[in-house]
Structure 1
Amino acid sequence: MTPPRATPPPTDDPDPAGLWRALTGRQVGMIGLGGAIGTGLFLGSGLAISRAGPATIVAYAVCALVAFVIAWALAEMVVVHPRAGSFGAVAHQYLGPPAGFVQRWTYWTIQVIAVGGEVVAAGLYVRFWWPQLPLWLLTAVFSAVLLGANALAVRFFGTVEYWFAMVKVVAIVVFIGLGVVLITVGLPHSPATGLTNLTAHGGFLPGGINGLFLAMVFVLFSYIGTEVVAVTAAESERPERDIPRAARRMVLRLVLFYVLAIAVVLTVVPWEVTAQGGTVDTSPFVRVFESAGVPAAAAITNFVVLTAALSSANTNLYLSTRMVHSLAGDGFAPAWAGRLSPSGVPRNALGLAALGLALAAALSATAADTAYLVLFGISVFGALVVWIMILVTHWKFRRSARPASPVRLWGAPVTSGLAALFLAAVLVSTAFVDGLDTAWSAGVPFFAFLVVAYLVIARRRARAGGVSSSGA
């Protein structure tokens, strides 16, 4: 027997796509938190720390404010428009079909690339214990597991992601607790470190203001994923209650976790040492656990990082599936991608995401460095453009004649404008930052391709009697 759908929430713009509203408030909150906490925090955030030293703490705090503005702007919009496709569908309405097309296909692409990279990374983490296992086999197994979790009812996906995210949250809480003890009173085999490491190695701001800004460029990407909560609105039991609550709690917890965790890292371990991180063995989490006398610290941290990678991949696969489903509803993806399974899951859209996952995973595992850099550049450029478009959509949303949302971003449009300017500055700076300079060389051609694709599709639809390229 097909289970009954949850009662739709009392919004003035219910989602017409037929997705089931089955995600609980707890699941929505944990999905958002888990989607935003990736492997970078556990492996040291070395690039940012190498630029700013202890001042990286400030970089995380500033970028948290930007993430808060984006999350709250999204909550304000999706409470009124809890649709499949989330911010992409809202952009379609307020900025026009071209914006909705470009934003959703961009987001689909960067999420598929992320999933491919994460499943390969998960395979590498397993080889920490069993190096003899072939990477292709581990990648295939993890891909199959994630596809299976996403192919079942959305409530099952929510449950899986809830516990994936819980492992990360518990690990961070334990890490912060042990770090505070090491800093203040010490442990039997580790005397208290105090705050000396924050100033003893070149000062609190060894890289100057320029180093701090460069650190912000890298730190900002740690917060990508805060938009996940908005995408769940179309399948939340009560989006008018759960989305604002989840957005607020997610950002506050991210600030707490990221800022405190980085503060612990930089206080317990000299920043020059942390800046050399990037592997499980050199992770600051391992160093703190070892200082606290925790046995098998590297193995425990590797398990947490493995869980973090699978959690991110699981959520990103969910996001990419819902974006294609939304595009199909607007006629910008094959119609079959919009069909739902008996359990209310867009499995055809999931299949399309699986093809992208296979390609991205193959390139991540075997392709030449240039191919990987192209994928990375598209992801960096695309993520920043998506965030900027979210804020532009919010500005247009505020100027519309629609009644005010029950959730309001404080200080908008000033706060949202400042956040957009900051993101634009980061986007421009990527052209001059080593490691991010492929963003423009790969991102601009990709966006040009999407624009041409939209014009071709819109012209065909116009000839067939559909909407014109202007959205009429």
Structure 2
Amino acid sequence: MSRTSAPQDAAPVAAPPGESALGHGLKQRHLSMIALGGVIGAGLFVGSGAGIAAAGPSIVLAYAISGCLVMLVMRMLGEMSAANPASGSFSVHAERAIGPWAGFTAGWSFWFLLCVAVGLEGIGAAQIVHGWVPGVPEWAWVALFMLMFCGTNLAAVKNFGEFEFWFAALKVSAIALFLVIGVLAILGVLPDTDAPGLTNLTGHGGFMPNGTEGLIAGLLASVFAYGGLETVTIAAAESEHPIQGVAKAVRTAMWRIALFYVGSMAVVVVLLPWTKEEIPAKGPYVATLDYLGIPAAGQIMNVVVLIALLSAMNANIYGASRMAGSLIGRGLGPRVIGAIHGGVPRIAVVTSSLFGFVCVLLSYWRPDDIFQWLLNTIGALILVVWFFIAASQLRLRRRLEREAPEKLVVKMWAYPYLTWLALAGMATVFVLMARQEDTRVQLYYAGGLTVILAVVGFVWQKLGLQRDAAE
């Protein structure tokens, strides 16, 4: 018989089918850097400038608020993933807690999000390299990057882990160095610099120069900049010690991301007036380094941003392929894509890479309709994923406490109160998106895709396609 209802609370927790064939070559240091590699990208290095322009110095508060929401989500995900490591991560948890349709919706939403993100990151990286080598068209650079990272992900998982470790390490080092330089400048220790004090925080209109509307705009920009942390729980299933690995990686990644994001924004708005046009034009990092008189700041940050984009491409192809492989291995997709060879879902890797490249081609062929639709659709999908994580944790925590309390290696703080608080926070962000004209369309498109996937997943479940696909 096909599965036609959500799993009962009394059902035993078992490993998803098909996932035991994956490799287990990732080490703890790989997991820690993968947790950072997927999230630190152009959104932080460049995109945050628009948030500063909208919110002024209160962008620090916006990143702190959204950072608290992300920490709650990651704590919930860490609890479930440490108890039951799976390459399908939250999709597996949603299936166990709510039903196959929920796992289908959450998983394929995330796959779609990552594939489009891969295309966007490829475009951004190609634009930087094209500026250095204008004789080669941008699409050719994207094709080269896609082939390179498709090849990396087709190899054994330990090779991917090593590649991502060094990429992410360079990004983290760059941000750490920026923070050190910034703090020294704030203290007036650097040559030819004076301590700015609180002048830039209280002047130019005050801490919230554009009022609550500006803070809301900064909050919405910061929420989506945090997307990508979820990849660490996907990678944990292929590590040497999945339970200990995901527990440690989640704990360390949360405070590191908060330090990098909130700390970076604080350094920028303390050192520079938020009204400077260079902040959104060049990006806050370049603008700050230029202000401090760091030689060749623009080119240095171009290299860092390029590394950040390539690292995110690598991590997102990995995450997309593992999510697709897990979904198909559990009978939630066409089985031809999910075959595992040498511990790697190679067809899923190629499929995910090709989908990302098609998105790039659409940016040239149909920039004003189809490509714009893709951009708008992914705008709120990360919130949909977070919603499934919180809803799943509410049910699975009760089940674990009753059936296997020893698996609660990581526990959500103040359960269930903080889980409900996180859900309320997500609902608030949805409402705020509906109020803003430029984000309202993103909410509608993402909501539409989610409903379509939910209907397809429910029909798939009802008609027994899950069983047939797995046979």
- Provide the TM-score with structure 2 as the length reference: 0.91
The 1-side partners of 2:178 and 2:61 are apart by: 20
- Equivalent residue pairs, number: 452
The 2-side partners of 1:13 and 1:80 are apart by: 11
**Partner amino acid, structure 2, of 1:402:** E
- What residue number does 2:314 align with? 314
**Partner amino acid, structure 1, of 2:335:** A
Alignment of 1:272-283 (within 5 A): 272-273=275-276, 277-279=279-281, 282-283=282-283
Q: Secondary structure at the match of 1:369?
A: coil
Task: After TM superposition, give the deviation of residue 215 of structure 1 in Å.
Answer: 1.6
Work out whether 1:375 is the aligned partner of 2:374.
yes
Alignment of 1:164-183 (within 5 A): 164-183=167-186
Q: Which runs of 5+ in 1 are unaligned?
A: 1-11, 468-472
Preserved contact between residue 110 and residue 382 of structure 2 (Cα < 8 Å) = yes
Structure 1 range deviating more: 95-104 or 352-361: 352-361
* Alpha-carbon spacing, 1:463–1:423, altered in 2? closer, same or farther (3 Å): closer
Q: Which runs of 5+ in 2 are unaligned?
A: 1-12
Structure 1 range deviating more: 208-217 or 151-160: 208-217
* Alpha-carbon spacing, 1:90–1:36, altered in 2? closer, same or farther (3 Å): same
Work out whether 1:323 is the aligned partner of 2:323.
yes
The 2-side partners of 1:44 and 1:428 are apart by: 23
Task: After TM superposition, give the deviation of residue 334 of structure 1 in Å.
Answer: 1.8
Preserved contact between residue 119 and residue 143 of structure 1 (Cα < 8 Å) = yes
Task: After TM superposition, give the deviation of residue 366 of structure 1 in Å.
Answer: 4.0
- What residue number does 2:262 align with? 259
Task: After TM superposition, give the deviation of residue 278 of structure 1 in Å.
Answer: 4.2
The 1-side partners of 2:372 and 2:223 are apart by: 19
The 2-side partners of 1:152 and 1:466 are apart by: 26
Task: After TM superposition, give the deviation of residue 13 of structure 1 in Å.
Answer: 4.6
The 2-side partners of 1:193 and 1:364 are apart by: 43
Deviation per residue, 1:238-293 (Å, 9 max, x gap): 1221111111111111111111111111111110116x6445xx222223323444
**Partner amino acid, structure 2, of 1:31:** I
Work out whether 1:233 is the aligned partner of 2:236.
yes
Q: Pick the aligned partner of 1:37 from 31, 36, 40.
A: 40
Preserved contact between residue 331 and residue 468 of structure 2 (Cα < 8 Å) = no
- What residue number does 1:152 align with? 155
Task: After TM superposition, give the deviation of residue 435 of structure 1 in Å.
Answer: 2.9
The 1-side partners of 2:465 and 2:350 are apart by: 28
**Partner amino acid, structure 2, of 1:334:** P
Structure 1 range deviating more: 172-181 or 186-195: 186-195
Work out whether 1:115 is the aligned partner of 2:118.
yes
Deviation per residue, 1:109-141 (Å, 9 max, x gap): 000000011001100011232233211111111
* Alpha-carbon spacing, 1:183–1:39, altered in 2? closer, same or farther (3 Å): same
Preserved contact between residue 247 and residue 409 of structure 2 (Cα < 8 Å) = no
- What residue number does 1:86 align with? 89
Structure 1 range deviating more: 92-101 or 325-334: 325-334
- Provide the TM-score with structure 1 as the length reference: 0.91
The 2-side partners of 1:126 and 1:192 are apart by: 37
Alignment of 1:274-353 (within 5 A): 277-279=279-281, 282-342=282-342, 344-353=343-352
Preserved contact between residue 61 and residue 259 of structure 1 (Cα < 8 Å) = yes
**Partner amino acid, structure 1, of 2:404:** P
User: Highest relative contact order (Cα 8 Å, sep 6+), 1 or 2?
Assistant: 2
Identity %: 36
Give the aligned CA root-mean-square deviation in angstroms. 2.0
Q: Secondary structure at the match of 1:226?
A: coil
The 1-side partners of 2:96 and 2:42 are apart by: 35
Preserved contact between residue 42 and residue 308 of structure 2 (Cα < 8 Å) = yes
Structure 1 range deviating more: 75-84 or 385-394: 75-84
Preserved contact between residue 335 and residue 469 of structure 2 (Cα < 8 Å) = no
Task: After TM superposition, give the deviation of residue 409 of structure 1 in Å.
Answer: 1.0
